[in-house]
């Protein structure tokens, strides 16, 4: 069920276009991530959804009710939308118990106490209920923040880089714990992050944003395997990229063989003949092989459990990066590299 809909959304600040023609929906219990570089408009979307900003054009509908448009702006407190940000948002003068209780002060005392105890237990905070934020670890603070939000039973949770201040291992642990709780409670989430791996890990769908415009909306698998342009391919991970021209038969010559101009264009039209293209190969798709293209190792880096190499093929192509690899080579070693042609992504110039 699509119960949150964003239609034809535009947002300007002093005649500067921040967002343009934003259209997407959120299903019940879905986790939808928004990724893109700084200034792409990610936080602006969250502010519009939260009611902290008003659209220049378009509307936002929650449960078939317009909550934002040019003429309508439902107050933030009346939207039943939770907010979780990277900044510290706990009240420093209140205990863990009172921080969690803050959003349900309107409930009767007995109901409130039972509910708070339930959440303290659920989030492993029962022994910390009298502690203050300054006495908590980063992970404990995040659990308190999440409990304080979820106890209010929001329809939608907006998360803006909520784990970016945590170290890597704790970030993964708290992120997995949070997503597990959200899935159990069937809460819909819009998750903004700069961490591509995090987005791929937790999302049902991903929105790729650039300069205030949506580039692609799809599942993590499709975003990775079928990016719509080279910008998306480069955003999702490390890439090797080179230019190539199609011949009269619509074929592109690469060091690894000829490939057809397919998926992103049709080879039945004249416009693809003798046209320039960008070919993208992920470093993880390259591999050393007894049968392949002659190359030379020009640099190597130890990654812990594997190696990363840069290899030179010939002057007509850039230096190719290859990782991860269990093979151990020396600089200047002559080797052969290969790739499955189906894994080469093709984009029009």
Quick: pLDDT tens for 181-228: 888 889 999 999 888 988 999 999 999 999 999 999 999 999 999 999
Judged against a pLDDT cut of 70, whether residue 276 lies above it is answered with yes
| C-alpha closest to that of 203 among 191, 211, 215, 195 | 191
What are 7-17's pLDDT values in tens digits? 999 999 988 99
* pLDDT category of residue 163 using cuts at 50, 70 and 90: confident
**Residues 6 or more apart whose Cβ sits within 8 Å of residue 276:** 243, 244, 245, 349
In tens, the pLDDT along 38-84 reads 889 999 999 999 999 999 999 999 999 999 999 999 999 899 999 88
Question: Helix 168-184 and helix 138-150: axis angle, to 10°?
Answer: 20
Neighbours of 194 (CB within 10 A): 13
Shortest CA distance to 49 belongs to which of 39, 32, 37? 32
* Token pair recorded at residue 248: 């009269």
């Amino acid at each position: 069920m699509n119960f949150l809909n964003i239609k034809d959304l535009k947002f300007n600040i002093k005649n500067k276009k921040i967002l343009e023609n934003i259209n997407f929906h959120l299903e019940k219990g879905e986790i939808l991530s928004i990724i893109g570089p700084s200034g792409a408009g990610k936080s602006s979307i969250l502010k519009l959804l939260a009611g902290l900003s008003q659209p220049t054009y378009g509307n936002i509908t929650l449960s078939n009710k317009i909550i934002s448009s040019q003429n309508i702006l439902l107050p933030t407190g009346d939207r039943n939308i939770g907010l979780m940000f990277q900044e510290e948002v706990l009240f420093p003068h209140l205990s863990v118990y009172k921080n969690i209780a803050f959003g349900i002060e309107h409930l009767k005392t007995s109901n409130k106490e039972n509910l708070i105890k339930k959440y303290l237990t659920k989030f492993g905070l029962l022994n910390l209920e009298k502690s203050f934020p300054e006495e908590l670890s980063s992970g404990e603070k995040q659990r308190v923040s999440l409990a304080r939000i979820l106890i209010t039973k929001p329809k939608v949770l907006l998360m803006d880089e909520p784990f970016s201040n945590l170290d890597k291992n704790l970030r993964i642990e708290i992120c997995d714990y949070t997503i597990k709780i959200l899935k159990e409670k069937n809460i819909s989430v819009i998750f903004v992050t700069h961490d591509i791996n995090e987005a791929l890990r937790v999302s049902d769908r991903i929105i790729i944003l650039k300069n205030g415009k949506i580039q692609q909306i799809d599942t993590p698998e499709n975003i990775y395997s079928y990016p719509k342009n080279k910008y998306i391919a480069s955003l999702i991970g490390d890439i090797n990229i080179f230019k190539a021209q199609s011949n009269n038969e619509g074929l592109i010559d690469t060091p690894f063989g000829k490939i057809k101009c397919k998926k992103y264009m049709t080879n039945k039209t004249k416009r693809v003949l003798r046209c320039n293209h960008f070919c993208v190969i992920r470093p993880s798709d390259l591999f050393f092989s007894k049968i392949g293209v002659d190359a030379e190792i020009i640099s190597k880096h130890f990654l812990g459990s594997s190696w990363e190499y840069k290899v030179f093929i010939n002057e007509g192509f850039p230096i190719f990066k290859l990782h991860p690899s269990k093979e151990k080579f020396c600089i200047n070693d002559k080797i052969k590299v290969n790739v499955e042609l189906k894994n080469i992504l093709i984009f029009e110039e």
